[in-house]
Amino acid sequence: MRRMKILLTTVALITAGTALGGAALSTAALANDEVIKLAKDPKNWAMQLGNYEGQRYSTLDQINAQNVKNLKVDWSFSTGVLRGHEGGPLVVGDTMYVHTPFPNNVYALSIKDKGRILWKYEPRQDPNVIPVMCCDTVNRGVTYADGKIFLAQADNTLVALDAKSGEVVWKVSNGDAAKGETLTANPVVIKDKVFVGISGGEFGVRGHLTAYDIKDGKMAWRAYSNGPDADVKIDPQKTLMLGKPIGDKDLGVTTWPGDEWKIGGGTTWGWYTYDPQLNLIYYGTGNPGTWNPTQRAKDGKREGSDNKWSMTIFARDADTGEARWLFQKTPFDEWDFDGVNENILADLTVKGKPVKALVNFDRNGFGYTLDRTTGELLVAEKYDPAVNWASHVDLKTGRPQVDDKYSTFAGGADTNVQGICPAALGSKDQQPASFSPDTGLFYVPTNHICMDYEPFQVAYSAGQPYVGATLSMYPAPNSHGGMGNFIAWDAGTGKIVWSKPEAFAVWSGALTTKGGVAFYGTLEGYLVAVDMKDGKELYRFKTPSGIIGNINTFEHAGKQYVAVLSGVGGWAGIGLAAGLNDPHAGLGAVGAHAALGQYTNLGGVLTVFTLPD
């Protein structure tokens, strides 16, 4: 049956175009236009990040700062899966698409019928993939394009489902769990290709971004995060760094000791954004392989050991994959400050000049504003006052000024370095921020947690943890009990406009709206609405489980709705999610959040809110 369908499709393509290539191109353009159109219509929530720019902003304003206090739950839906629910529901027309963590079920729900299940996709995956998922069995959501739903399964299967029926159109393997490779990311569709990265930075996985043909899943290209220029798709004469060509060749090899780059991390499990005018796709790479920096230093020195291109923002041509520009935020990482956080595209005024900007809130605690055309660095300031590992970032070189007191390399392996801020889970992790064109500000869910870090020598073995560090995490000093903040950020000046403290890390993605209300979730399970002007709390509702998902909004039959997936877990809630009793297990995250167990339990539930009639 499957074979028959493919044959029919091929025949149709041949009929429609003069050649297969031409047909594919024309269909591709349609797919891209459709996504842009759907994302522009605020009735939908057609992309996980709201639009290609990753702004997580809606022009809906029925729910506003005056009436949001009246918000009520309209309906709810259990996903039937425990553990951490990252990402959120997509809304395309009358249908909502909800995903789960492993085993990565997908449900198409009728919005009109308050969650009646139109179809379900429940893949059978080998549970042996679970032990190689470092930080819970999360998945950051499905993608809609071209009448298909794209899902990156934990077991490295990238699958395209028919959006109407849930039937598998095609599937392809993007990696090998036996090597520690897994998938957690939200794919993005640009033109005729679907893009997805790879997870496994704690297993020595070599990161890459791969483009597949949306029609049949055929690989178009793969760009690695490290290794020779050819693999990374760098042309040192053309690819820009801080606005100038890199010049030096093969830095993805030469900034590593020996063959360490081959197990060099730089995984790509964060979010992907896109500028249709520039035709550039933006994403970041994660920590270099093994957290123990002494194993990554050439001749025992920090100098010359940048471990490129880990911790790097890449801007690639979406057709060819060639790197247009790149920027390494944390050369020679010593703290697991994965550089994978979302790159939000917005047109800003920076130092009096209009800029096509890219704004990134890195795990390392610095908020970066770059020119997204050239990659020039414009602003780099701390968005978490606790940050102490570096005093500042030199705008000319892009390099942080590391404080040796908090270096985990300076004292060598087996030295316990105390009081590093932020902790490995960063001042912000994967939880995506929001940009409001109305206020010109960014609304950022943040963590406020510090750590002690002791690196140790570790041997690489495929599929085994390649961490090489023992961590302990705890609230930042003078945090007044708050391990998280929801902040408004001026990316033109690099300043916090206001900051609202929360008891735990704010591990949920933010939403802003034309109604003047910003939304986020808390690890205890509260959906919170605040006034975008001043952060004043307007509404707080206790959902069934802790929220590490992202808040979305949509319109149906003339009413605005707000939707969120609850389901505590993720790295922040790994203690609860994996049932760890040792508060210092789970890469140390449990210590800081052990008290979470007093507030919430596991359980994936979608909650849909609206105003009373």
Q: Which residues bind a second copy (CB under 8 A)?
A: 70, 72-73, 75-80, 82, 107, 114-117, 120, 525, 541-545, 566-567, 597-607, 612
Letter for the amino acid at 225? S
Contact, 587 vs 471, CB < 8 A? yes
**For a second copy, the closer CB: 116 or 164:** 116
For a second copy, give the closer residue by CB, 498 or 609: 609
What minimum distance in Å lies between the beta carbon of 564 and a second copy? Answer: 12
CA distance 438 to 60: 12
Q: Is 336 a catalytic residue?
A: yes
Q: In terms of CB distance, is 445 or 569 closer to a second copy?
A: 569
Pick between residue 408 and residue 543 the one whose CB is nearest to a second copy. Answer: 543
Shortest Å distance, C-beta 281 to a second copy: 35
Give 240 or 572: the residue with its C-beta nearer to a second copy. 572
DSSP line for 553-608? EEEETTEEEEEEEE---TTTTHHHHTT---TT-TTTHHHHHGGGGGT-----EEEE
Shortest CB 62 distance to a second copy, Å:
18
* Rounded Cα–Cα distance for residues 273 and 54 (Å): 6
Among the listed residues 65, 70, 40, the one whose alpha carbon sits nearest the alpha carbon of residue 52: 40
Contacts of 453 (CB under 8 A, 6+ apart): 334, 335, 408, 416, 417, 420, 424, 469, 470, 471
Min dist. Cβ of residue 476 to a second copy (A)? 24
Residues 6+ apart with CB under 8 A from 517: 63, 64, 65, 68, 529, 530, 531, 532, 538
Cα distances (Å, whole numbers) of residue 309 to 19, 234, 312, 331: 39, 11, 6, 8
Residue identified by tokens 């790509």 is: 268
Query: Active site residue: 146, 192, 275, 336, which one?
Result: 336
Task: Provide, rounded to whole angstroms, the least separation between the CB of residue 111 and a second copy.
Answer: 12
CA dihedral over 575, 175, 87, 424, signed as positive or negative: positive
Cβ(366)–Cβ(387) below 8 Å: yes
Q: How many residues does the chain have?
A: 613
Least distance to a second copy, CB of residue 576, Å: 8
End-to-end CA distance of the chain: 48
Are residues 194 and 222 in contact, defined by beta-carbon separation less than 8 angstroms? no
What is the sign of the dihedral through the CA atoms of 85, 583, 455 and 389? positive
Contact 329, 306 (CB under 8 A): no
Instruction: Write down the least CB distance from residue 597 to a second copy, Å.
Output: 7
Cβ distance to a second copy smaller for residue 129 or 577:
577
Write down the residue that tokens 């459709």 correspond to. 34
Nearer to a second copy (CB atom), residue 39 or residue 596: 596
Place of tokens 């309209």: 74
Classify the phi-psi angles of 149: left when phi > 0, otherwise alpha if psi is within -120 to 50, otherwise beta: beta
Our CB check for a second copy shows the closer of 122 and 235 to be 122
Q: How many CA atoms lie within 13 A of 349 on its CB side?
A: 5
> Residue 589 Cβ, how far from a second copy at the closest point, in Å?
19
Q: Which residues are catalytic?
A: 336
